[in-house]
Amino acid sequence: MTPELPADDLTQSPAGTVSFESIVGHAHAAATLDPTAEPVLTMDNVRMYFPIRSSLMRRTVGHVQAVDGVSFQVPKGGSLGLVGESGCGKSTTGQLITRLYKPTGGTMMFEGHDLAQMSNRQMKPLRKDIQMIFQDPYTSLNPRHTVGSIIGSPLAVHNVVPKKKILSRVQELLEVVGLNPEHYNRYPNEFSGGQRQRVGIARALALQPKLMVADEPVSALDVSIQAQVINLLQDLQKEFDIAFLFIAHDLAVVRHFCPEVAVMYLGKIVEIADRDTLYSRSHHPYTQALLSAVPDVKQAAIGGRRERIMLEGDVPSPINPPSGCRFRTRCPLAREICAKVEPPMLQVGPRHKVACHFAGELGNHPHDPVTARMLGVDNEGSPDPGASPSDIGNEPGFSDVWFDLKERRTVKP
Amino acid sequence: MSGDPYLEVTDLSVRFPTSDGLVQAVNGLTYSVELGKTLGIVGESGSGKSVSSMAVLGLHDPKAARIEGSIKVGGTEVVGLAEDKMRSLRGNSVAMIFQDALAALHPFYKIGAQLGEAYQVHHPKASKKEARKRSIEMLERVGIPQPDRRVDDYPHQFSGGMRQRAMIAMGLINDPSLLIADEPTTALDVTVQAQILDLLQDLQREFNSAIVIITHDLGVVAEMADDVLVMYGGRCVEYGACKEILTHPEMPYTWGLLSSVPDVTGDPNARMIPIPGNPPSLLDPPPGCAFHPRCVHSSKVPGDLCATTLPELTVGARQGHLKRCHLVDSETIYATEVLPEVAPDLAIHLAEENR
Amino acid sequence: MFSFLVKRLLSGAMIVVLVSMMVFLLFFYGPKSPALELCRRDTHGRCGETSPRLEQYEERLGYNNPVYSEYGKWAKGLVQDRTIYIGSTGYKCEAPCLGLSYRDRTLVTDQLKERFPITLSLAVGASLLYLMIGVPIGVLAARRRGSFADKALVSSTLVFSSIPYYLVALLSMLLLTLSTHVFPTVAYHPFLDNPFKWFSGFLLVWLVMGLYGATAYTRYSRGSMVEVLNEDYVRTAKAKGLKDRVVVIRHALRSALVPVVTIFGLDVAFLLSGTVFTEQIFDLDGIGKWGLEATYIKDLPVVQATALVLAVAVVMANIIVDIVYSVLDPRVRLS
């Protein structure tokens, strides 16, 4: 049993000392987007193929295409959400940024360095700028170390604080994440799940990183504790100006935390947009299905159920992904062209990109592929000698001009 | 017969004596479910929601658990029922499906063998062939493609969604009147979760069974349940019709649950308001209302009533709505203080409705 | 399955060859010369490192030849009849020829044929008892975990297995056969001659070995079973309405046996290569006693034979364990 711990911070205090008003004052509304922020991390066409070897000869017989051509930017001090279902490559993407693996291809520009090309030695000074928060607060903390040494070890490894000052810095950090600073010599098992996640956050915070990769930081926690941790992360982001890559499967939590969200399916980003666009006017059938599948408490309570878009079958194997558009095997809109040509990542609004031949709002998808002409193919996806293909890249970030889906031409605001 | 509850739980307590003391996992729990209806039991880990449902199937080790009160399944008293009689209920008129289908299915046996076994226990005259035929039928019914082939697969050859479907097929193979689903979709992705919830609703319409769905996810409850029971620290703290509870909650813990999960639609200005502190210890529960150490509204109750006296489960401000709370005008507090912060759009909606 | 067997048999053969080479190398370059050892024994110590007699011995046993040529002769003998000359006497040795014992100039292959049935009988009887006594008791204890019976069982197996084995064996022989005749006298009678005599001659040995080894199996299977009984699928089996017995045997035991099988495979392999204490105490002429005596006098061909038995037994046991694994657990694929 977890021993009763004395009051740690505002959110841990006994009743009477904290009123509803004060707790509301510390709770955050959803984060907002700063469109002018410079990117701190730019991922450009990043790929990660894991080789599969045969058992007998150790010959490479194929590849798991875990991440296949992912491009995005994380703005300085802002947050980008990365959502998708299990096996879509979102966690692998996070692990690539912290260089748990060396990517197969692409560039990952961080502060003028290409993380993808760096050796482990070159990475070391950069590691303190990029920290990770893990999903499971039970297995990610060494049970034989005190929380003080867990939080203090990155300080010692990177030599950022003189030895004598480590303890006081650890106590400072404990206080920042809302734990009692006197508890530095306790062991992880003496803390509850939510408190352990705070320890994990303090450890990640110790080196004052510029970028945090948070991989499902709240999904292992009880509902009532999730909100505590999300609020804490929002506090820290504001106070220390940390950029977040927030990886989660929970679309509602991501909506609250991230003003900009990318949706992944089978190793590729299928849609990326600012929050309002993505959650109310998404253009990709997968995003639409995903959103319609999330049960919605407050709406269901007043109006009953929304119409769900049911996806048939299961996610195909990343070893042998479908040709053309990877979503086509489960897509209600799929047509001939989808199997033949891969849809490009097309910017369709000021901060909105989508990879679909039939991109459009729910119930308003076009009848003809919007991408055919620019790809130099006809509506069935066969090469069209009459068409003049234009150059559509897979660049990260957004451009000032975009393709207007209604008028079917490039527009400038 | 419709209208009579199929499952009737009255004043149920489940206690586990341990070397550290008595763990009071469930305390004075009362609820009922009719055929064709769904009850959602909501609570966090350690709230007693799973423990109470395991008691319905008599799955607790009689040496480890002390069970008091009454559980009536189709009129039969289950508490204290002889083991062989209990066994003829299990998997027959009462079935259970579990959270993690990969762990809940035996890794060494083929899907068909596990389903067939469930059928044959309660149909001892059925041959292997008949059991297999019935298994294929059920797999087909829950939407597994090529069931005559997949019946010979092992669980690890199924995807997560298919495993949960197989689990449901196994639960329903003997046409149970009561199905208990313990976090049936927690381990699944949202699109698969939607498929499974849909399937459960379809099947309920077809078989007219009573369903108890245990979950921590209010969203699942909102979509599935007719009634909701909120548990905290082993007790029921709020109980009533689903729509009623979710739109007019009267217990601050339920408010906390509603305000600590963001919505995927709705107002982006909504705040995520956490419940302070941690769930209580069941070994040494707080005196008075178990929620009072975390309750930010207890100052609105005169004196230290919350800390000294356990509130009774009483009828709330509206009909058919039970709550366990000392707050007097909780309806107003929710509408004027809580809702504007957690769902500004709905607060306006509610204000208009009341006008 | 087929390619698995081929692969494993090939790598197993390689291990056996390596072991036989190592034995040769040890005898040729080891700290004590086998020729000197034998010479001293024959002459009651009147044989020194410089005495001309030693040279005779070395020549006779082949230690003055290079190691590879001697190894080659030995290896060739496995597949081809050969004649071994000691001085001017030739001993005909049919394939598979394992050489001639230094001690009494008997054919090692014949000796092995004579002794192996004894060891095999011991191993089969004892290992069956490991499972027949150890596993059921372990399962029973796991089902009544925490009860008085469980605690008593676990602690008594600990007490029993902390008594040295040779003491248990010696005492039971003295008390149960020599002084009280509760059990028939321990002796080997070939099974084919008289199965009843074979059985009664081994009865006590089996019981002593089996009971002593079973205590360990009680603990393995209890631990493994306790773990499995907490698995979700066991709860599912109960929720189906299955009888307790069916839940325990069909659903829990099969999983619980997986780790036990691994230990059992290796145990059987070691039993097959001889049980030194048992054979010594009960005076049974099995592989273990033979190998021990041969080691004392540096009897290369005999040591080589016993080492081969061990190597083959371990290799085969591992392959069989892997196959049993894949039968028990369909997720394990043999490749």
Decide if B261 and A226 are in contact by the 8 Å CB cutoff: yes
Nearest CA in chain A to B257: A224
Compute how many other C-beta atoms are within 10 angstroms of the C-beta atom of residue C75. 15
- Please give the full DSSP string across A257-294, using - where no structure is assigned: H-SEEEEEETTEEEEEEEHHHHHHS--SHHHHHHHHHS
Neighboring chain B residues of A311 at a CB cutoff of 8 Å: 191, 195
A310-324, B72-86, C43-57, C311-325, range with the lowest pLDDT: C43-57
Question: Per-residue confidence at C297, pLDDT binned at 50, 70, 90?
Answer: confident
Please give the order of strands across the beta sheet that includes A105-110: A60-75, A39-53, A105-110, A113-114
CA A370 to chain CA centroid, Å, is 28
Q: Does B260 touch chain C (CB under 8 A)?
A: no
Decide if B90 and C328 are in contact by the 8 Å CB cutoff: no
Q: Does C1 touch chain A (CB under 8 A)?
A: no
Neighboring chain A residues of C332 at a CB cutoff of 8 Å: none
Decide if C3 and A56 are in contact by the 8 Å CB cutoff: yes
C-alpha C200/C-alpha C187 separation (Å) is 9
Q: Which residues 237-276 of A are in CB contact (within 8 Å) with B?
A: 249, 251-253, 255-256, 275-276
C-alpha A11/C-alpha A229 separation (Å) is 10
Neighboring chain A residues of C7 at a CB cutoff of 8 Å: 56
Asked if pLDDT for residue C174 goes beyond 90, the answer is no
C-alpha C305/C-alpha C313 separation (Å) is 12
Domains and CATH numbers, chain A: 37-258 (3.40.50.300), 309-411 (no CATH)
Q: How far is B56 from chain C (nearest CA, A)?
A: 11
Q: Does B166 touch chain C (CB under 8 A)?
A: no
Neighboring chain B residues of A314 at a CB cutoff of 8 Å: 159, 161-162
Helix, strand, coil in percent for chain A, rounding step 5: 30, 20, 45
Decide if B265 and A295 are in contact by the 8 Å CB cutoff: no
Supply the pLDDT for residue A18: 67
Supply the pLDDT for residue B328: 87
Most B-contacting residue of C229, C236, C238 (CB-CB within 10 A), to test interface: C236
Q: Which residues 65-84 of A are in CB contact (within 8 Å) with B?
A: none
Neighboring chain C residues of B112 at a CB cutoff of 8 Å: none
Nearest residue, CB atoms, C232 vs list B103, B117, B122: B103
Neighboring chain B residues of C243 at a CB cutoff of 8 Å: 87
Cβ-based interface (< 8 Å): residues of A facing C: 55-56
Beta pairing partners, A215? A247
Supply the pLDDT for residue A8: 41
Decide if C239 and B96 are in contact by the 8 Å CB cutoff: yes
Decide if B104 and C254 are in contact by the 8 Å CB cutoff: no
Nearest residue, CB atoms, B104 vs list C236, C242, C328: C236
Q: Does A47 touch chain B (CB under 8 A)?
A: no
Neighboring chain B residues of C247 at a CB cutoff of 8 Å: none
Compute how many other C-beta atoms are within 10 angstroms of the C-beta atom of residue C67. 15
C-alpha A19/C-alpha C156 separation (Å) is 60
Q: Does A85 touch chain B (CB under 8 A)?
A: yes
Phi then psi for A262, rounded to 5 degrees? -115, 140
Residue A402 and residue A349 in contact, taking contact as beta carbons nearer than 8 Å = yes
Nearest CA in chain B to A234: B272
Nearest CA in chain B to C231: B103
Element of type H or E holding C254: helix C254-272
What is the average pLDDT across C26-46? 82
Q: Does A34 touch chain B (CB under 8 A)?
A: no
- DSSP H stretches of helix in C52-186: 52-61, 67-79, 108-129, 135-143, 148-162, 165-173
Neighboring chain C residues of A56 at a CB cutoff of 8 Å: 3, 7, 335
Residues B283, B288, B290, B291, CA torsion sign: negative
SS3 A386: coil
Which two three-digit tokens encode residue B50? Answer: 């799973």
Could you read off the pLDDT of A231-249 as tens digits, one per residue? 999 999 988 999 999 999 9
Residue B54 and residue B95 in contact, taking contact as beta carbons nearer than 8 Å = no
Q: Output Rg (C-alpha) for chain A, integer angstroms.
A: 23
Supply the pLDDT for residue A306: 64
CATH of domain B1-93+174-247: 3.40.50.300
C-alpha C183/C-alpha C175 separation (Å) is 10
Nearest residue, CB atoms, A1 vs list B20, B292, B294: B20
Residue B238 and residue B324 in contact, taking contact as beta carbons nearer than 8 Å = yes
Nearest CA in chain B to C330: B108
Residue B236 and residue B229 in contact, taking contact as beta carbons nearer than 8 Å = yes
Decide if B277 and A12 are in contact by the 8 Å CB cutoff: yes
C-alpha A334/C-alpha A353 separation (Å) is 19
Residues 6+ apart with CB under 8 A from C97: C77, C78, C80, C81, C82, C84, C107, C109
Could you read off the pLDDT of C127-159 as tens digits, one per residue? 999 999 999 999 999 998 888 999 998 899 889
A&B contacts, CB < 8 Å: 194
C-alpha B203/C-alpha A382 separation (Å) is 44
C-alpha C64/C-alpha C78 separation (Å) is 22
Domain residue ranges of chain C, discontinuous segments joined by +: 29-107, 109-328
Supply the pLDDT for residue C334: 67
What is the C-alpha end-to-end distance of chain A, expressed in Å? 61
C-alpha C203/C-alpha C207 separation (Å) is 6
Nearest CA in chain A to C335: A55
Q: Does B90 touch chain C (CB under 8 A)?
A: yes
Neighboring chain C residues of B163 at a CB cutoff of 8 Å: none
Residue C228 and residue C255 in contact, taking contact as beta carbons nearer than 8 Å = yes
Which two three-digit tokens encode residue A191? Answer: 């803390």
* Residue C46, amino acid: R
Neighboring chain B residues of A18 at a CB cutoff of 8 Å: 276, 296
Neighboring chain B residues of A301 at a CB cutoff of 8 Å: 222, 242-243, 246-247
Residue A266 and residue A88 in contact, taking contact as beta carbons nearer than 8 Å = yes
> Mean pLDDT, chain C, as a whole number?
89
Which two three-digit tokens encode residue A151? Answer: 């939080």
Question: Per-residue confidence at C59, pLDDT binned at 50, 70, 90?
Answer: confident
Nearest CA in chain A to C7: A56
DSSP 8-class letter at A329: G
C-alpha A18/C-alpha A8 separation (Å) is 13
Could you tell me whether strands A211-215 and A243-248 are parallel, antiparallel, or unpaired per DSSP bridges? Answer: parallel
Q: Does C7 touch chain A (CB under 8 A)?
A: yes
Supply the pLDDT for residue A173: 92
DSSP 8-class letter at A130: E
Could you tell me whether strands C82-86 and A211-215 are parallel, antiparallel, or unpaired per DSSP bridges? Answer: unpaired
Decide if C329 and B108 are in contact by the 8 Å CB cutoff: yes
Neighboring chain B residues of C324 at a CB cutoff of 8 Å: none
Q: Which residues of A255-275 are buried (b: 16+ CB within 10 A; e: fewer)?
A: bbbbbbbbbbbbbbbbbbbbb
Could you read off the pLDDT of A288-314 as tens digits, one per residue? 999 988 887 766 666 655 678 888 878
Burial label for C261, CB within 10 Å (0-12, 13-18, 19+), is: middle
Which two three-digit tokens encode residue B297? Answer: 């509204």
Can you give the pLDDT of all 413 residues of chain A as single tens digits? 333 333 344 444 444 456 777 777 777 877 788 888 889 999 999 999 998 876 656 678 888 999 999 999 999 989 999 999 888 999 999 999 999 999 999 999 998 899 999 998 898 888 889 999 988 878 888 989 999 999 999 898 888 888 888 999 999 999 888 888 889 999 998 888 888 999 999 999 999 999 999 999 988 888 888 888 899 999 999 889 999 999 999 898 999 999 999 999 999 999 999 999 999 999 999 999 999 888 877 666 666 556 788 888 788 888 889 999 999 999 999 999 999 999 999 999 999 999 999 999 988 899 989 888 888 888 888 888 777 777 777 788 888 888 888 888 888 87
Side-chain-side CA neighbours of A310 within 13 Å: the count stands at: 9
Decide if B121 and C232 are in contact by the 8 Å CB cutoff: no
Could you tell me whether strands A260-265 and A79-83 are parallel, antiparallel, or unpaired per DSSP bridges? Answer: parallel
Beta pairing partners, B240? B228, B321
**Any idea which residue has 């959803």 for tokens?**
A30
Nearest CA in chain A to B46: A222
Decide if C241 and B107 are in contact by the 8 Å CB cutoff: no
Q: How far is C290 from chain A (nearest CA, A)?
A: 40
Can you give the pLDDT of all 355 residues of chain B as single tens digits? 446 899 999 999 999 998 888 999 999 999 999 999 999 999 988 889 999 999 999 999 888 899 999 999 999 999 999 999 999 999 999 999 998 889 999 999 999 999 999 999 999 999 999 999 999 999 999 989 899 999 999 999 998 889 999 999 999 999 999 999 999 988 888 888 888 998 999 999 998 999 999 998 888 998 899 999 999 999 999 999 998 898 889 999 999 998 888 888 777 778 888 888 888 888 888 999 999 999 989 888 888 889 999 999 998 888 889 999 999 888 888 888 888 888 887 777 777 776 6
DSSP 8-class letter at C50: S
**Any idea which residue has 């609703």 for tokens?**
B201
Most B-contacting residue of A251, A297, A329 (CB-CB within 10 A), to test interface: A297
The candidate with the shortest Cα–Cα distance to A142, out of A288, B321, A134, is: A134
Beta pairing partners, A383? A377
Decide if B154 and C255 are in contact by the 8 Å CB cutoff: no
CA A51 to chain CA centroid, Å, is 24
SS3 A173: helix
C-alpha C99/C-alpha C81 separation (Å) is 11
Residues 6+ apart with CB under 8 A from A85: A249, A265, A290, A315, B189, B190, B191, B192
Decide if C255 and B88 are in contact by the 8 Å CB cutoff: no
Nearest CA in chain B to A12: B277
Domain residue ranges of chain B, discontinuous segments joined by +: 1-93+174-247, 102-173, 249-354
Q: Does A146 touch chain B (CB under 8 A)?
A: no
Supply the pLDDT for residue A104: 94
Neighboring chain A residues of C3 at a CB cutoff of 8 Å: 56
- CATH architecture of the domain covering C109-328: Orthogonal Bundle (1.10)
Q: Does B187 touch chain C (CB under 8 A)?
A: no
Element of type H or E holding B243: helix B242-247
Q: Does C335 touch chain A (CB under 8 A)?
A: yes
Let me know how many helices (H) and strands (E) chain B has, helices first.
15, 12
Compute how many other C-beta atoms are within 10 angstroms of the C-beta atom of residue B97. 24
* Residue C192, amino acid: L
